[in-house]
Amino acid sequence: MKRIVHIALSAALAASLAACAPAEQKESKLQIERSEQATTVATVEAVDLTRRTVKLRSLDGQPFVVRVGKEAVNLPQVKKGDQVEVTYARELEVTLADPGEVVNETDVVVDRAQPGSKPEGSAIAQTRVTATILDLDKEREKVTLKMADGSVATVKVQNPANLDKVKVGDTILIRYLEAVDITVKGKKR
């Protein structure tokens, strides 16, 4: 299961790196890439099978509750004291879109344990959407975008130098990938 998440993340990262590889690429070409991954462990404090909730305590001692969907068929195996390992990764890539390109799609892949096996699961969601630049505010480091679905959003730009690589009327392609992998490790020893 973890292998699926790692393979998908590796493929996405390789594709992202390949997209910016050409040496003769103009410096003014927009190419934004960011990624991060984190793994944490929490301890199960209580499981409510009727409400399908699990109360967890984080490594820093903070309690929190997670609702678990019916697709988690092995929830009855999760017990107080079990360690739950969660790996979360996300990746963002922004490039100039091809002229006339309009994209608004999300693909989701979910993998879960078979009934009776160790409780675990993973999910990968990739969203690809185009947005037209309606306004650039270099002074405030903000850009206003009209998304493919017609909604409008104003966002703060993390790297203001990117504002010099685009103009009002340009269309950008945003690809956002999120992956989560959850494994119940059993009792802490």
Strand ranges (DSSP E) for the chain?
31-48, 53-58, 63-67, 82-96, 104-112, 120-137, 142-147, 152-156, 171-187
CB 49 within 8 A of CB 75: yes
Say how many CA atoms lie within 13 Å of 155 toward its Cβ.
15
Q: How far, in whole angstroms, is CA 19 from its chain's centroid?
A: 19
Q: How far apart are CA 122 and CA 86, in angstroms?
A: 10
pLDDT surpassing 90 at residue 20? no
Share of the chain above pLDDT 90, in %: 65
Least confident of 21-25, 54-58, 72-76, 144-148: 21-25
The whole-model pTM stands at 0.70
pLDDT tens track for 118-174: 889 889 999 999 999 999 999 999 999 999 999 999 999 999 999 999 999 999 999
Residues 6+ apart with CB under 8 A from 24: none
